[in-house]
């Protein structure tokens, strides 16, 4: 493998690993890990080549397989992020809040009930 191909594979591998770690942090959830991994994603994306035109067919195949694995990790991140967002939204709604953050309305429990059957 050429030096350029090896660098591209290393960059895409770093991206995939960071995405997999983000998915794991979303599944727990673990905010500190999520914040720490942001810079790893940025560095990996800076190193990913914009084109593979100069790569050999074997290099393209190997890098493409790693890109596909990174794509699957990204899809897992999206699913977990959407689930976490739904959980937070539902939790806030159960508290009578419609917004997250300091401007969110304060909950009012007077005369309200929550049906928590599953």
pTM score: 0.72
Whole-number percent of the chain with pLDDT over 70: 82
Whole-number percent of the chain with pLDDT over 90: 40
Stretch 32-44: mean pLDDT: 91
DSSP-derived letter for residue 26 is H
Peptide bond into 29 cis (omega under 30): yes
Position 76 confidence tier, pLDDT thresholds 50, 70, 90:
very high
Contact 81, 26 (CB under 8 A): yes
20: its two tokens: 């997999």
Sign of the dihedral defined by the CA atoms of residues 87, 91, 97, 99, in that order: negative
What is the rounded average pLDDT for all residues in the chain? 83
Distances, alpha carbon 54 to alpha carbons 25, 45, 48, 79, in Å? 36, 19, 14, 35
Residue 31: per-residue pLDDT: 87
- Summarised one tens digit per residue, pLDDT across range 5-30 is 888 899 999 999 999 999 999 998 88
Show Cβ contacts of residue 93 under 8 Å, excluding neighbours closer than 6 positions: none
């Amino acid at each position: 493998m050429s030096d350029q191909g090896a660098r591209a594979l290393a960059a895409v591998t770093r991206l995939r690993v960071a995405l997999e770690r983000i998915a794991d942090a979303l599944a727990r959830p673990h905010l500190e890990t999520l914040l720490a991994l942001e810079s790893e994603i940025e560095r990996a994306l800076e190193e990913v080549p914009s084109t593979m035109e100069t790569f050999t067919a074997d290099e393209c195949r190997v890098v493409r397989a790693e890109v596909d694995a990174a794509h699957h990790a990204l899809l897992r991140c999206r699913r977990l992020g959407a689930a976490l967002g739904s959980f937070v939204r539902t939790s806030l709604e159960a508290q009578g809040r419609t917004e997250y953050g300091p401007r969110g309305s304060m909950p009012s429990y007077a005369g309200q009930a929550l049906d928590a059957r599953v």
